Structure 1
Amino acid sequence: MTDTTANAAPLSGNVLFYGKPEPLSVEAHGKLGVEGVDQPYAFVAKTNIVPLTVTEFAPAALSYPVIFVGEARQPVAVMGLRQDENLFVSEAGSFRPEAYIPAYVRRYPFVFANDDVQKRLILCIDRDAPFIKEGGATPLFNEGQPSQYTQQAMEFCNNFEQERQRTEAFVKLLTDLDLLETREAVFTPRNPDGSPAAPQKIAEYFAVSEDKLKALPAEKLVELRDNGALGQIYAHLVSLLGWDRLIAMAFQKAAEAQGVAGNA
């Protein structure tokens, strides 16, 4: 069940990016609106991983390594090699034009929170979002009712919630089949004379084991093919080739920063 009314019950949920999520209500937010912003994604510039849903694996794989992290084996897109750095989003808030923008980012500043008492989802809005302002050009409410913009946002969040549940089922399938293994992303720098230096580990994560996948019974592989999971698994595996591109981007950014400092 979902709702768009404020409630005094305690709320819980994953709110990465959200500084001050509040249950959306006409009483608290009836005068607010959204101001158009040319580069609206500055809030992503300080994080290097963003959660993904399973249906996003294929488009995300064209831009990022898609890996699994944490105890929950959460699938994420890797956008940088350091926690506070995003190589795909400028400080001003623009994504690189070729980069896929995850749904987790596109739903901002809206998010569903769990009302654990009444067992429902409540639509919230990040009151700290800089483009949410009193008298904003696109209102959140019209004559006391959610505006078309808000209704579209709720529909998007509803769809996202369905995809999130589908993703949990996909991860459970991988876990039940024992297909995930620990992997490392390693970079081998070069010495001044061009010889390879000692390898450096830049990340540790979970990924599908190709050996375990090949060892599955034929009927299980057919089942994974027919339910669409096999295609998502291959998209994830292909995406891991993106580590080299990510490393190259990090070096390019460092070289550009060094060049700017040298010219200062």
Structure 2
Amino acid sequence: MTTTGQPGITGNVLFYSQPEPLSPEMHGKMGVKNMDGPFGFAKVGHAVPLTVGEFPAASSTGPIIFVGDEKLPISVMGLNAGENMFLQADGLFQPGVYIPAYVRRYPFIFANDDAAKQMVLCIDRAAEFIVESGYDMPFFETDGQPSQYTKNCIEFCNNFELERQRTANFVQILKDLDLLETKTASFTPMNADGTAGEPQKIADYFGVSEEKLAKLPVEKYIELRDNGALPQIHAHLTSLLGWDRLVAITLARQMQAPQAANA
């Protein structure tokens, strides 16, 4: 890891709008101020990346699905793009909601420096709690060395990268065993007369096939048990019941909206 000036992150990274390498030259007199509601940035996170070790804790909040060509796991936190239904207006998550490590890592992130073949620690300079004065936790000490706060964040990011690699290995296991299949989440709305309406599709995604899992050779099933993948698979499957929860919350809020407008 390095904190010297290097090229910033390229491409689109969820939540990070102005990433730049952390360095004492650029950020020696900056720091982070405490906020009562520090997660306001996550309001656009309806689908947040998740690491495999988080599956059990995250499964009670909402669906854990796999997306894209790489089949990366995400935590579904809203049915509408750009709307995290679990984040309150005060910048705090609803009580009992699991907050993914991806969110807790912000505003720090590692970026690859291909030329130097190393990881560069970056921050999102646009984060509202990064300030040039009145901060509670500086990024650097007066001698230019990382502060204890920054050291703790570096350790968190290092652990996150390790978990990210574990996640990639877990997904590769699912691919090698051909356990993933295309799934569709849908719900059936009720008409005004109480009859069932036309089913509506919510999302297409990848998930573990319970049929394929049940048909695995015994030795492969035991292998999944012994390498710790089986509990994570079960957590993923259990989490899919969360689609109903998201639909129920969304419908309840839609019904409350007209009442609030007429109040």
Question: TM-score scaled by structure 2?
Answer: 0.96
Which has the higher mean CA deviation after the structures are superposed, 83-92 or 184-193? 83-92
Whole-Å Cα distance in 2 between the matches of residues 75 and 158 of structure 1? 19
Asked if structure 2 preserves the Cα contact closer than 8 Å seen for 1:109 and 1:126, the reply is: yes
Whole-Å Cα distance in 1 between the matches of residues 215 and 93 of structure 2? 40
Runs of at least 4 residues off by over 4 Å: 9-14
Q: CA deviation at 1:133?
A: 0.2
What is residue 194 of structure 2 aligned with on the other side?
Answer: 194
Q: For 1:72, which of 67, 70, 73 is the aligned residue?
A: 70
Structure 1: unaligned runs, 5 residues or longer: none
Q: CA deviation at 1:85?
A: 1.3
Q: CA deviation at 1:10?
A: 6.3
Whole-Å Cα distance in 2 between the matches of residues 70 and 258 of structure 1? 37
Asked if structure 1 preserves the Cα contact closer than 8 Å seen for 2:9 and 2:19, the reply is: no
Asked if structure 1 preserves the Cα contact closer than 8 Å seen for 2:8 and 2:20, the reply is: no
Whole-Å Cα distance in 1 between the matches of residues 41 and 232 of structure 2? 28
**In structure 1, what residue type is equivalent to 2:78?**
G
Whole-Å Cα distance in 1 between the matches of residues 15 and 256 of structure 2? 28
What is residue 118 of structure 2 aligned with on the other side?
Answer: 120
Asked if structure 1 preserves the Cα contact closer than 8 Å seen for 2:43 and 2:84, the reply is: yes
What is residue 246 of structure 1 aligned with on the other side?
Answer: 246
What is residue 180 of structure 1 aligned with on the other side?
Answer: 180
**In structure 2, what residue type is equivalent to 1:139?**
P
**In structure 2, what residue type is equivalent to 1:4?**
T
SS in 1 for 2:44: coil
Aligned CA-pair RMSD: 1.2
Asked if structure 2 preserves the Cα contact closer than 8 Å seen for 1:10 and 1:116, the reply is: no
What is residue 3 of structure 1 aligned with on the other side?
Answer: 2
Q: CA deviation at 1:34?
A: 0.7
Whole-Å Cα distance in 2 between the matches of residues 6 and 91 of structure 1? 36
Whole-Å Cα distance in 1 between the matches of residues 73 and 11 of structure 2? 17
| TM-aligned CA distance change 1:13 to 1:227, over 3 Å | farther
What is residue 49 of structure 1 aligned with on the other side?
Answer: 47
Q: CA deviation at 1:102?
A: 0.4
Q: CA deviation at 1:110?
A: 0.3
**In structure 2, what residue type is equivalent to 1:183?**
K
Count of aligned pairs:
261
